[in-house]
Amino acid sequence: MSAPASSGAGQPAPETANSAELPPPIGSPASPADTAVSLGDDELSDGEHLLGGGSGQQQPKIIVRTATSRSRRMAAGGAHGLARDAGAASSGCDCGPTCRLIGISRFPPAGLWFVKDVCGVFCAMFTWFLIFYAEYVVLFIVLIPAPSFAFKWINGVIFHVLILLAFSSHCKAMLSDPGAVPIGNATKENILRMGYRDGKDRVIYKCPKCCCIKPERSHHCSVCRRCIRKMDHHCPWVNNCVGETNQKYFVLFTLYICIASFFAIYLTVHYFVLCVGSEWESCASGFSPPATTIFLVFLLVEGVLFGLFTAIMCGEQLHGIINDQTGIENLKRERHSWEKKSRLVSMEAVFGHPFSWRWLSPFSSPNLSNGKHQPYMYSV
């Protein structure tokens, strides 16, 4: 946890803009004389640092303020974006090892994102269990004993393709960086290197928990212990946050699970009717009729519950993407201080640019490098 700033008297800076006194890197303990720095007669309140600018006011002023509440941040207009390239490592910050790319142990390996949360890991494993249970019942109880060769092959290929796409989307959503802000990048060097699109004075917020520059539309996740760009929500079923860079995979996961669930319901009902109509003579699955009925009933309940749940989740995700609003922003009713995008541009910002069949592929990473899709961002 970064040291809280205390109030202090403002000290006049020299007349030249380049020689203005700068505070120490954010996140390190601040002395009373460094808690407030002013240029000329401008004096900052408690917890603020002024970087850049000058007596001639020819350069935009950058005010660094600890983000204590979202309402205060949004009322001030917010910082336009994120310094994407982390420069300095965290110093004097208790950021926590839960969501770091390389934790205390040797897992996960370098370059792999994995959230070490017991509840999230259990939910993700339970999701895999339900997927493989549906796979087992459909394959060994419904399809293989089916008398029609065309029925078992056509429906088998369709169902297995849906399961493959759903499972791949889940793995990508779970093991992809959701858009985490680099830890400890709130240093004076990074802040002074930030470029703005309009050159206006800006208020830059730093997260007191992970000591990073807190961009507009980002939120700190208490489970991941990181600030996530365009964080929608933290989903325990994928053991990860749903954010700017992995929202595509989460939407595809809900879409393919929804389709596979209703397709499994169709296969289950069709098979059950066939078995009852033939008095179980056409159902040589290797299980007794009571055991087969139990398997089919559990699969039917699973298909109905997860089909409806993922259908609602997918609809909410697509509605939020089209309206350029995340789930947290909708829940907190945060006002739009950023430039709204059109519906097509909002979809391209999540699924990639330009529109193509790759939108539906979990094996294709979205191209999010086009800056016009994130007009709220500044660069470092």
The answer to whether 273 and 118 are in contact (CB under 8 A) is no
Q: Is residue 127 part of a domain?
A: yes
pLDDT digits (tens, 9 = 90+) for 27-50: 333 333 332 222 233 333 434 554
Mean pLDDT of 347-365: 88
DSSP 186: -
How far apart are alpha carbons 274 and 379 in whole angstroms?
62
Active-site annotation holder among 95, 212, 235, 258? 235
CA distances from 267 to 138, 154, 254, 288, 296 (A): 8, 12, 20, 19, 10
* Residue 272, domain extent: 118-180+243-368
Mean pLDDT of 335-339: 66
Q: Is residue 136 part of a domain?
A: yes
218 pLDDT exceeds 60? yes
DSSP 194: -
Contacts within 8 Å (CB) and 24+ apart, 122-131:
123/236, 123/237, 123/239, 124/170, 124/174, 124/236, 124/237, 124/238, 124/239, 127/170, 127/237, 127/238, 128/167, 128/170, 130/302, 130/306, 131/163, 131/166, 131/167, 131/170, 131/257
- Report pTM: 0.71
pLDDT digits (tens, 9 = 90+) for 144-176: 888 788 888 999 999 999 999 999 999 999 999
Q: Is residue 219 part of a domain?
A: no
What total of structural domains would you count in the chain? 1
Q: Is residue 54 part of a domain?
A: no
Tokens linked to 216: 């507009």
Identify the band that residue 273 occupies on the pLDDT scale cut at 50, 70 and 90: confident
Would you state the pLDDT for residue 64? Answer: 64
Identify the band that residue 217 occupies on the pLDDT scale cut at 50, 70 and 90: confident
Q: Is residue 335 part of a domain?
A: yes
67 pLDDT exceeds 90? no
pLDDT digits (tens, 9 = 90+) for 297-308: 999 999 999 999
Mean pLDDT of 180-207: 73
Would you state the pLDDT for residue 183? Answer: 85
Q: Is residue 188 part of a domain?
A: no
Q: Is residue 282 part of a domain?
A: yes
Q: Is residue 250 part of a domain?
A: yes
Mean pLDDT of 92-105: 36
Catalytic residue flag (residue 235): yes
Least confident of 94-108, 172-186, 239-253: 94-108
119 pLDDT exceeds 70? yes
Identify the band that residue 336 occupies on the pLDDT scale cut at 50, 70 and 90: low
Mean pLDDT of the chain: 72
